[in-house]
Amino acid sequence: TTAKSDYIWFNGEMVPWADAKIHVMSHALHYGTSVFEGVRCYETNKGPAIFRHKEHAQRLLNSAKIYRFPVPYSLEEIMEATRQVIKKNNLKSAYIRPLAFIGDVGMGVIPPAGYQTDVMIAAFPWGAYLGEDALEQGIDAMVSSWNRFAPNTIPAAAKAGGNYLSSLLIGSEARANGFQEGIALDVNGQLSEGSGENLFIVKDGILFTPLLSSSALPGITRDAIITLARDLGIEVREQTLSRESLYLADEVFMTGTAAEITPVRSVDRIQVGIGRCGPITKQIQQTFFGLFNGKTEDKYGWLDLIK
């Protein structure tokens, strides 16, 4: 691949981008056995800062725990390696991709006793996931014909590589039909989330978001938005939500590390609210981005400043 930065941390060492390779017989390639994170580092007036670094590192280890993957590094070691990747590549802002996976441990779905996962951490510049324009204008989304996986099939709390086959079906169906993103229902037909984003609805000044039990990933941005909205005095309700609540919403937006806070201006070609970023979405966006430009106080210690 074309180098997006100079070095990738791979099993404890800084390896040049072009040399960070694995074998074609790697278990993860055959069976989807990886867990990963998407983390952002923002440029702030105090230097580069990793947003909710500890929560991301913890979710990586939680995902591994669910699948009984032995990761040979501690939370602190993973966090320190991540800081070193940012520094080594001289990055001011970056998208960070830590990944723990089952490597070339031999064939068979059940890995041999005593194996350990491989771990890599890459960091590289990456702009707005759904486009700069999307943050202001909003995106057109469709409700996917594919549901999210049932809770007793694949655990939604683990951010595992294999989960993204579901995201690929949801997201690529939407794009093939001329939409920018797909929204999935859970197996009961209630709202779940986007292919790579959590979902929020504003109705009569109240902020609603689907329950995590609707097979949604416990998004770290979702958690931050719930917290920031409550601080702004906005009532937040996590509850079961119907598909049609999207059509009747005053505002809809999606959240994620990559997507940040992206308004949804239409769903299934039905205009949502005013058809662009609504006032509450705007207020929440400004409060969120304020964490990085200094306008919002970092009162929860969410910024890990790299010195």
- Contact footprint for ligand PMP (CB under 6 A): 38, 167, 193, 196-198, 217, 219-222, 255-257
* The two structure tokens encoding residue 52: 């909710």
Q: How far apart are CA 202 and CA 152, in angstroms?
A: 30
- Identify whether 46 is a catalytic site residue: no
Q: How far apart are CA 149 and CA 153, in angstroms?
A: 7
| Closest distance of CB 95 from ligand PMP, Å | 11
Contact residues for 44 (Cβ-Cβ < 8 A; gap 6+): 292, 293, 294, 303, 305
- Whose Cβ is closer to ligand PMP: residue 198's or residue 214's? 198
Residue in 4, 159, 295, 307 annotated catalytic? 159
Pairing relation of β-strands 181-185 and 139-143?
A: parallel
What amino acid is encoded at 262 in this protein? T
- Whose Cβ is closer to ligand PMP: residue 105's or residue 229's? 229
Q: How far apart are CA 55 and CA 302, in angstroms?
A: 9
- Whose Cβ is closer to ligand PMP: residue 103's or residue 219's? 219
| Closest distance of CB 113 from ligand PMP, Å | 31
- Whose Cβ is closer to ligand PMP: residue 91's or residue 226's? 226
Q: Long-range contact list for 9-12, CB < 8 A, 24+ apart? A: 9/81, 9/82, 9/84, 9/85, 9/88, 9/120, 9/121, 9/122, 10/118, 10/119, 10/120, 11/118, 11/119, 11/120, 12/73, 12/81
Residues carrying an active site annotation:
159
